[in-house]
Structure 1
Amino acid sequence: MENGKTYGKQTPEEIARAAQEAAIKSAMEQAQLMLGNIPGMNMQDMQAQIMAQMQAAVPNLVDIQTQQATMGTLGDVDADTVCNTGMKNMNDAADITQSLMNLDFNADDFFDDNDSWEIKRSKDGTLNSEQLRLLALGAPILVYNDEYTDTIGHQEYVDSLKEQIRSWWEVTDRESAFEIVDWLLREGHHAEADRVLAAMRNGQETEGIDEDKVEDVSLITDYMLENSICDMNSVPHTAIAWDLVRIVNLGRWAFQCGYITEEDMWNIMCVADETASANFSSWEEYGMSFVLGRGVWHGDTDDCQTAYEIVAELLKNEDSPWLQLSWSD
């Protein structure tokens, strides 16, 4: 529809191009949700690599496009040809989507070491000070995902977001959202890690605790000590902040997906706030617990380093809600 006039249907070439672009758009949305706003990552370069690898995975892609282009407009093609071409385009799109799932990226190709994490603010004034403080509890993931730290906003890719929280936590409605909030509070990824931390702190044996978790906690605490992220006196006593940050964002995501009300969302954040206040006395303590928890999550020092970079920015950047809002307010 343009200027009130309705034009004819798309040509087979246009249909194929639209299917290809839709597949790429879906892949890029998934990449953004999974990878977040990684400093220095050039999404245009990533898209170029997707195209290159798609071409390798579907070698006849150009031939498909060229052949369809010679067919001209739909007005010059009989109905059977249009139908067959449409079916072929759908199959080609399916092949493209499958090839995207099998791509092998070298993430280092997309980084610029000179870039740093950005703390974004909308300055729309929609939240009061208490709401801003509650949202600040989820700030590390807001920064990671390149989202504003001062507004609940609206998720641009709601369908992709719904699929992500369904695949991560099987959250599909209000009941399942609150079940995961409860699980993150009681257990999540912190409960077993905290048992290890308590045993280490008290010089006790870790017998009876999951061996993999013992190794993960030892790996990450050693990394934090060796890289001066903390010292022996400031090793976090709990990894619960990792789960609290996720609770705040899960509440936000569930609201954006339409599974819960705004009141539900703030109530979820209040629960996270009560637990955070009972365990920490400052944003710094909270942040270091997040750093530990994210590292222990996969037993990955890279995850720990990423979390530390984000927390360090939140503790020094003048735009950070952690500097603008008192921990105890």
Structure 2
Amino acid sequence: MNQNMIEQYLQSLKAMGLTDEAIAMYRQQMEQQINLTNQWASQMGGQDFQQQFANMFNAAQEEDDDEGEVQLNPDSTLTQAEQWAIACGADLAQLNGQYLNDLTTGFSKQECRDMLSQWWDIDSKEELQEMIEWLFTEGHRIQYDTIWQAMNTVSIKESKAFLRENVANNEMEEETLLQRLRNMRDALELFQENKLIAADTQPEMLIWDYARIINLSRGGFDAGYFNREEALTTIMRTVDPIRKMYNSWKQLSVSYQFARCVWNGIQPEEFHDMMEGMEVLLTDPQSPWVTMKWDQAK
């Protein structure tokens, strides 16, 4: 049972965009904690520690049950243009159960500090700024473009050889690149079968990095690392590049979810949840993707 809980939690971290290396680290830490918990419970002749561990994951499951609902802050004071920019990160914010129409996520200061520290290794304003600038200037889209070019200019066998010889710096990085190459091939087939993209379409990776800039800025504001002006200024920097790259909320969402599949792999249940989440954002009368048209804030 504990192992199932771990897998559920790790899947939620993967959906956030954490690397395979980070997921492996969390897996090791959590398994070590469970072993210690079991030892303590055995020595004390009780189940208190195990019950506490189970309660933590049951609480997380209860939160998951509400993830189909659109979370809005009725007291938001953002302008329409600012809300539009926030809405560009709605795929990730919806997954996290955060507000979709405000700078604040709706989470506490400590919760945001913990998430930034555990998921991003960010514990200061300086580290937050460094990560955001990396996402602006490089991010994961450079590697994505390299994998895409390798896959589409030569055979899969030649693509694997190219990545091994010219891109990977070590065995771990090589395996990660090859897995993402396989993920990209599978994602293309799946998204084309479900008529999410045309046969000759390459989903653009920009939103995978920029949605995380938006949500990191919001988390950084709630954590106390950014003031309101700093967070909003950073978020508004994403608007023009996003507008130039995409032409609808659905295209933006499909691109984000495609990149998510490339980075995390494809699981049937996750793909089903992704489709449901996209449907909620595109159809719920309260969703910012419904109340704000794509071109209204130009």
Q: TM-score, normalised by structure 2?
A: 0.69
- State the AA in 2 paired with 1:159: Q
Alignment of 1:11-30 (within 5 A): none
| Residue of 91, 103, 118 corresponding to 2:69 | 118
Once the two structures are superposed, residues 170-211 of structure 1 have per-residue CA deviations (whole angstroms, 9 ceiling, x without a partner) of 222222112111222333333222233345556786353342
Alignment of 1:141-180 (within 5 A): 141-153=92-104, 155-180=106-131
Once the two structures are superposed, residues 233-257 of structure 1 have per-residue CA deviations (whole angstroms, 9 ceiling, x without a partner) of 5x44322212211111000000110
Within the alignment, does 1:188 sit opposite 2:188 as a pair?
no
| Residue of 283, 289, 305 corresponding to 2:255 | 289
Give me the whole-angstrom Cα distance separating, in 2, the residues matched to 1:288 and 1:147.
20
| Structure 1 equivalent of residue 179 of structure 2 | 212
Gaps in structure 2 of 5+ consecutive residues: 15-36, 164-176
Which of 161-170 and 127-136 deviates more? 161-170
Do the aligned residues in 2 keep the contact of 1:198 with 1:237 (CA within 8 Å)?
no
- Deviation of 1:63 after TM superposition, in Å, equals 6.0
| Structure 2 equivalent of residue 275 of structure 1 | 241
| Structure 2 equivalent of residue 253 of structure 1 | 219
Do the aligned residues in 2 keep the contact of 1:132 with 1:150 (CA within 8 Å)?
yes
Within the alignment, does 1:317 sit opposite 2:284 as a pair?
yes
Give me the whole-angstrom Cα distance separating, in 1, the residues matched to 2:11 and 2:109.
11
- Deviation of 1:162 after TM superposition, in Å, equals 1.4
Give me the whole-angstrom Cα distance separating, in 1, the residues matched to 2:112 and 2:236.
23
| Structure 1 equivalent of residue 294 of structure 2 | 327
- State the AA in 1 paired with 2:232: W
- Deviation of 1:55 after TM superposition, in Å, equals 8.4
Once the two structures are superposed, residues 99-122 of structure 1 have per-residue CA deviations (whole angstroms, 9 ceiling, x without a partner) of 83xx7x999xx69xx987211223
| Structure 2 equivalent of residue 266 of structure 1 | 232
- Deviation of 1:278 after TM superposition, in Å, equals 2.3
Give me the whole-angstrom Cα distance separating, in 1, the residues matched to 2:131 and 2:67.
32
Do the aligned residues in 2 keep the contact of 1:255 with 1:261 (CA within 8 Å)?
yes
Which of 114-123 and 55-64 deviates more? 55-64
- Deviation of 1:35 after TM superposition, in Å, equals 6.7
Structure with the larger RCO, 1 or 2 (CA within 8 Å, 6+ apart): 2
Do the aligned residues in 2 keep the contact of 1:193 with 1:217 (CA within 8 Å)?
no
Within the alignment, does 1:298 sit opposite 2:264 as a pair?
yes
Do the aligned residues in 1 keep the contact of 2:98 with 2:107 (CA within 8 Å)?
no
| Structure 1 equivalent of residue 24 of structure 2 | none
Give me the whole-angstrom Cα distance separating, in 1, the residues matched to 2:215 and 2:288.
16
Give me the whole-angstrom Cα distance separating, in 2, the residues matched to 1:170 and 1:125.
29
Gaps in structure 1 of 5+ consecutive residues: 1-26, 37-53, 65-91
Which of 205-214 and 168-177 deviates more? 205-214
Do the aligned residues in 1 keep the contact of 2:249 with 2:289 (CA within 8 Å)?
yes
| Structure 2 CA distance for partners of 1:183 and 1:309, relative to 1, 3 Å | farther
Give me the whole-angstrom Cα distance separating, in 2, the residues matched to 1:97 and 1:262.
41
User: How many percent of aligned residue pairs carry the same amino acid?
Assistant: 22
Do the aligned residues in 2 keep the contact of 1:197 with 1:238 (CA within 8 Å)?
no
CA RMSD of aligned residues (A): 3.9
- State the AA in 2 paired with 1:225: Q
Give me the whole-angstrom Cα distance separating, in 1, the residues matched to 2:11 and 2:265.
21
Do the aligned residues in 1 keep the contact of 2:67 with 2:96 (CA within 8 Å)?
no
- Deviation of 1:322 after TM superposition, in Å, equals 1.1
| Structure 2 CA distance for partners of 1:57 and 1:180, relative to 1, 3 Å | same
| Structure 2 equivalent of residue 39 of structure 1 | none
Within the alignment, does 1:308 sit opposite 2:275 as a pair?
yes
Do the aligned residues in 2 keep the contact of 1:229 with 1:308 (CA within 8 Å)?
no
Alignment of 1:99-118 (within 5 A): 100=53, 117-118=68-69
* Structure number with higher helix proportion: 2
Give me the whole-angstrom Cα distance separating, in 2, the residues matched to 1:147 and 1:217.
29
| Structure 2 CA distance for partners of 1:273 and 1:201, relative to 1, 3 Å | farther
| Residue of 199, 219, 233 corresponding to 1:232 | 199
- Deviation of 1:303 after TM superposition, in Å, equals 4.1
Give me the whole-angstrom Cα distance separating, in 2, the residues matched to 1:97 and 1:307.
32
Do the aligned residues in 1 keep the contact of 2:136 with 2:210 (CA within 8 Å)?
yes
Which of 192-201 and 140-149 deviates more? 192-201
Q: TM-score, normalised by structure 1?
A: 0.63
